A and B are shown apart, each in its own frame.
Chain A
């Protein structure tokens, strides 16, 4: 009795928890009130995004005078004009961003899964120490490393290339993803590894043929998180990329304020919508993995 009471967080989430809470917690009226409150908050939160989409379809003159979300006058050419409004067309910026994102995902999956398997499944001298070090880097604010890293990359001749943005991802520098995968791998039964070893598999074979295929959910979470953070990333590209031909989408978007004298709002909003669309798409496709990933990191 006392053990079950004293470890509430280990208890299994109750299947009919909701029904039970309903029974003593809320009446029909209070449920209705809750829906009203939640819808109101949701509407306020979504409104700026809806306004963005609507404004991207309005002629410049109407954006700030016509407040209705439904454009009184449609102006879809904002998209075509915005696409070519800057020095290079947005096709270049989008393909730059896509190249960086795809390679970052590959790098994180490759290097973090190797490290995670080492931490989760193999025994070697100093493992605990290295694991603690890895967790420590998760808390370390990146700006402390910024200046020496910049100097180092400059000395390597990597300024104005994608190397400073990509190479760290191939070197397992995202401790968060390692941690996520370690947690996942630890939940897999150890008997799998033992059976593989008895059948004559070495650690690499076990990793490749047994563990990797089972880790797909953790990889999906890592890939989606990497996608969103790299796609949004502004600071790294701002620091390392000076040639506009290499610009990513966020750097390009910022040029709208620099170059257009702040008047081509419709075009700027149209390109903003396009830059957010992939994130929203990935969010809808991978919501399950995102919610799970973020929830497990908080609970462990």
Chain B
């Protein structure tokens, strides 16, 4: 099945990301299996599941960063290659060498390279956009800092600024909350909400069940296969979680979940 119009047949709202029959395997062991997923435009969605559930794999396969064994992925009804400019990607912080000889501002400017295309160099206006993005994440004072001098949280905010500068319509973020301090966590969630307020779609690989209902309004529970996907209020249920984690979520109480939802 495939829906090329970019419209969700059920409720008529635009679909930002649609994935059909997506399977990825590492050495014939499936990392994700037969994924069918619709992400409506304008949601702030968490992808949640245990270690090895294929959360990062799902994002990377959607962006064709790793080979797909089967399946199709469409952003706004188009294959990724046609709409690269609409998609912003935040890789895991640990995926790069932070001793690389460059500055924070330079790293943020890299988000604009896609728009510049081959050979053209970033100039004054690119520097200004990058500076503006740094201000949004509260890092403007670090613009000329060598990146190895950043704390983990500052690194993560730098990566976030690099995605913001792309001015995409949908953002895919791989564990932006992993091992960051409280200040950074607040800064990131504020920005994610601002993005949603501006009508952007944000997909976040998330590992903290406690904060999920507070931070997100949409959720996909994943464990190689999709367990459930939909609005967090109806999808983030103990039953679904138990199914996702195989009964290992003893600490998530019903009361906590409701408290989290009320805060929303």
A and B found bound together: no
Residues of A participating in the B interface, judged by any CB pair closer than 8 Å: none
